[in-house]
Amino acid sequence: MKVVSRAGFYKWKNRDSLVQQVHRDILVATTIEQVHRNHRTHGYRWVAAFIRINYTFGCSDSYAYKIFRFLGIKSETKHQVHRQPRKVKDKYPNLIYSTWDTMDRPRQVIVSDMTAFHISYFYIEITFYFDVFTKQILTRKMAERRGARNQYVEGLEMW
C-alpha cells in the first residue's frame, strides 16, 4: 500500500479525464488557428493574451508557442527589414596579401609586429621588423614606456 498526501489525492480526484484534456487541446488549437487567421501579423504571446482576455478559457504563452510550432504557424511581419550598409572600402588596403607570391628579392616587403609585456611594475614594448622573402628578423627595438614612438622610427632607420 502506497501513502499519498491529501493534497495529491484531491488533485488526482478532481483532474480532468484524458478525453476532456484532448477536447480542451483541440479547442485551444482551433481557437489559436482562428485568431491567427484574423490577425496574421501577431505572434504567439499576443494570441495567448487575446485568448485569455476574450474567451472563457485560458492559454499560457508557452502553450500557445507549442501549438504555433505544432501547426507550423508563423506571424507575418509588417515591419521593413533594415539591412546594414555595405562596408566602405579600406582606406589602406592590404597590399602584402596581393603581392605575397610575387616577391623575388629580399627587403621588398617588410612587416612589423609589436608585442607588449607587463612584468611586475615594468612595462616593455618590443617591435620586430621581418623580411617576408627571407623570413628573417631584420631588427628589433624596445621601449619601456607605453605608446613610445621612437622605437618605430629608429627601427625603420636601422636597416
Exposure string of 124-159, with b = 16+ CB inside 10 Å and e = fewer, is: ebebebbbbeeeeebbebebeeeeeeebbeebeeee
Q: What is the pLDDT of residues 34-50, one digit of tens each?
A: 999 999 888 999 999 99
Mean pLDDT for the stretch of residues 134-158? 81
Which residue type does 77 have? Answer: T
Grid cell digits, residue 141: 627595438
| pLDDT for the residue numbered 159 | 64
Mean pLDDT for the stretch of residues 46-56? 92
| pLDDT for the residue numbered 96 | 67
H/E segment holding residue 18: helix 18-38
Grid cell digits, residue 100: 605575397
Q: What is the pLDDT of residues 111-144, one digit of tens each?
A: 888 888 888 888 888 888 888 778 888 888 888 8
Residues 6+ apart with CB under 8 A from 110: 129, 130, 131, 132, 138, 159
Q: What is the pLDDT of residues 67-104, one digit of tens each?
A: 999 999 888 877 777 777 766 666 766 666 666 677 78
- CB of 36 closer than 8 Å to CB of 42: yes
| pLDDT for the residue numbered 7 | 92
Closest to 66 (Cα-Cα) out of 50, 45, 51, 52: 45
pLDDT at 61 exceeding the cut of 90: yes
